[in-house]
């Protein structure tokens, strides 16, 4: 089951839809869908607006009683305001007491929004222009809930003046807010806060979720997220031209009852150095915890006794060392020979930044004729010459955080945080690699331009060693038989789910990489069984 609630506009408040993986649109892709529906399919804009408003009303009715309750509907000057007019009409019809506040002159409304305003003015509904935030505040003090229909997804400038004052009043009073499409003040493409933004208890987004609904910090402002297709046909909302989607984990291959350890993946980890015991142990052991079969760890000979005390299940391959205790370059030939016998090679966890070892990583990455996963110190090594990855004949996986992505791309961390999807897509193509850009809602980018946004995981996973557990989980998914892209997607999801299990048991504060690793077996079992609903609901993702 996917992590998304589809709230069909045709359904009544009791109906439910089946959750499933869903595309994620840019604001321009959404506008194009609107135009296509209106101009090519002949679906009038009045119907689209009506469906949006009706779906939002049903979501509201699912959150609170309507009859006898007081509601404030804040309407901006565009189609988002028009959606708000429909919601106000439905509240009035349902026995609620509704007051509509116009944050634009009446003559600014056009098309379907104008017609819905005119209809509303024919009803016994109080519709009044807003001259100051004080006008709104007095009624909000009495209101049971607020409908935010101010901006929608088209905002491309900082929120200022009266709009800013009204949003700040809404947030200060703390009334439950239902936002239409996206909380007002959140950029629809980046999730950035444009000066200030509404903090919603729930959001109903139309057509498809927008990037800003799911990327941080916008995700934090939206509350529970509902999605309605507003009668768009599947060929629009499932179009292959939309290249981003939610990362629902692919189905895991079954475990052959008579299989042996080699049937579930044979992975070589080239990792570890003097003083670096956690990273190699967590990565190689997490591979086994997530279902992998044969975990080999090539590490400096002097650190293996300490690693073996932590993880005796690993098969150790002692390596000759540099003076600083890292893996020496003279191990290259033996490592290449061993790499030829395994399914996947992992380069990097805890390898150190010793120049000789960094050179070894680059030479191994260029010569290994098997899929490789490069993490941690290995990423720093290949960032010196990322073009070598483009020349590889076999698939490559990179798992950088924002700082490591900065080294690969030469772009600042600020630039990456402002446009993570664009930079990820550009980089995955440039180095012909599958990239998991780690962070809150990790992004998986494929060389063909597809991007998947992962929703499992929590802030407690921002802890030393968590990325090494991810490395092992991805290796295990590949060992179980998934393709490289599917293995990365599944590994990222399972890793996040294991972190959610750890947080549910212990709280986000203080969970460690070991806690995440210990959650991997249960997380894999849950993905196999499709038992994801409870986790989704705890994260505020409502599955209808």
517 contacts 469 by C-beta, under 8 angstroms: yes
Would you state the pLDDT for residue 15? 32
Distance separating alpha carbons of residues 422 and 265, to the nearest angstrom: 33
Q: Supply 18's token pair.
A: 């089946």
Distance separating alpha carbons of residues 539 and 254, to the nearest angstrom: 28
Angle formed by the axes of helices 355-367 and 332-339, nearest 10°: 40
**What region, left, alpha or beta, does residue 53 occupy, with left being phi > 0 and alpha being psi -120 to 50 degrees?**
alpha
Angle formed by the axes of helices 111-121 and 79-93, nearest 10°: 30
Would you state the pLDDT for residue 183? 98
Give kind and range of the element (H or E) at residue 114: helix 111-121
Instruction: Respond yes or no on whether the N-terminal peptide bond of residue 322 is cis (omega within 30° of 0).
Output: no
Distance separating alpha carbons of residues 87 and 120, to the nearest angstrom: 10
Virtual torsion, Cα 196, 201, 206, 209, nearest 10 deg: 80
In this prediction the pTM is: 0.93
Q: Supply 497's token pair.
A: 């789910």
Taking 70 as the pLDDT cut, the residues of the chain under it are: 1-21, 533-544
Q: Supply 443's token pair.
A: 């992004």
Residue 179 burial (C-beta neighbours within 10 Å; 0-12, 13-18, 19+): buried
Of 293, 317, 231, 321, whose CA–CA distance to 51 is shortest? 231
Would you state the pLDDT for residue 255? 85
* Residue 110: partners with Cβ closer than 8 Å, 6 or more residues away: none
Of 59, 49, 50, 53, whose CA–CA distance to 6 is shortest? 59
DSSP 186: B
Would you state the pLDDT for residue 16? 31
* Residue 430: partners with Cβ closer than 8 Å, 6 or more residues away: 386, 390
């Amino acid at each position: 089951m996917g992590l998304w609630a589809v709230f069909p506009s045709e359904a009544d408040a009791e109906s439910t839809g089946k959750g499933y993986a869903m595309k994620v649109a840019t604001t321009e892709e959404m506008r194009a869908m609107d135009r296509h529906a209106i101009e090519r399919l002949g679906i009038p804009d009045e119907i689209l607006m009506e469906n949006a408003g009706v779906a939002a009303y049903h979501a509201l009715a699912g959150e609170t009683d309507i009859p006898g309750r007081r509601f404030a509907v804040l309407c901006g000057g565009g189609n988002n305001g028009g959606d708000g007019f429909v919601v106000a009409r439905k509240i009035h019809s349902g026995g609620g007491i509704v007051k509509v506040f116009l944050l634009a002159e009446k003559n600014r409304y056009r098309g379907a929004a104008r017609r819905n305003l005119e209809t509303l003015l024919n009803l016994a509904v109080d519709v009044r222009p807003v001259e100051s935030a004080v006008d709104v505040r007095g009624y909000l003090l009495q209101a049971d809930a607020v409908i935010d229909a101010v901006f929608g997804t088209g905002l491309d400038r900082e929120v200022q003046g009266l709009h800013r004052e009204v949003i700040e009043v809404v947030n200060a009073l703390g009334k439950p807010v239902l936002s239409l499409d996206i909380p007002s003040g959140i950029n629809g493409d980046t999730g950035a806060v444009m000066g200030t933004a509404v903090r919603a208890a729930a959001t109903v987004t139309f057509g498809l979720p927008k990037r800003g609904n799911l990327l941080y910090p916008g995700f934090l402002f939206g509350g529970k997220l509902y999605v309605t297709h507003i009668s768009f046909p599947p060929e629009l909302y499932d179009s292959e031209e939309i290249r981003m989607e939610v990362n629902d984990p692919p189905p895991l291959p079954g475990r052959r009852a008579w299989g042996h350890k080699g049937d579930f993946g044979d992975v070589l980890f080239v990792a570890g150095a003097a003083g670096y015991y956690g990273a190699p142990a967590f990565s190689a052991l997490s591979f086994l915890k997530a279902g992998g079969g044969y975990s080999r760890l090539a590490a400096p000979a002097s650190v293996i006794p300490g690693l073996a005390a932590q993880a005796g299940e690993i098969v150790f391959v002692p390596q000759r060392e540099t003076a600083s205790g890292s893996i020496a370059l003279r191990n290259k030939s033996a490592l290449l020979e061993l790499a030829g016998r395994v399914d996947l090679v992992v380069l990097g966890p805890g390898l150190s930044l010793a120049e000789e070892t960094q050179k070894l990583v680059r030479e191994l990455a260029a010569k290994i004729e098997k899929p490789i996963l490069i993490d941690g110190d290995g990423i720093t090594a290949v960032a010196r010459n990322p073009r070598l990855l483009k020349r590889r004949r076999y698939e490559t996986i990179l798992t950088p955080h924002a700082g490591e992505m900065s080294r690969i791309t030469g772009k600042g961390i600020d630039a990456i945080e402002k446009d993570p999807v664009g930079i990820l897509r550009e980089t995955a193509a440039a180095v012909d690699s599958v990239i998991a850009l780690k962070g809150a809602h990790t992004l998986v980018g494929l060389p063909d331009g597809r991007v998947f946004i992962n929703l499992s995981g929590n802030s407690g996973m921002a802890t030393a060693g968590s990325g090494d557990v991810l490395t092992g989980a991805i290796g295990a998914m590949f060992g179980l038989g998934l393709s490289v892209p599917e293995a990365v997607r599944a590994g990222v999801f399972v890793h996040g789910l294991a972190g959610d299990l750890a947080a549910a048991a212990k709280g986000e504060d203080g969970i460690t990489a070991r806690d995440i690793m210990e959650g991997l077996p249960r997380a894999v079992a849950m993905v196999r069984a499709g038992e994801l609903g409870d986790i989704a609901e705890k994260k505020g993702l409502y599955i209808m």
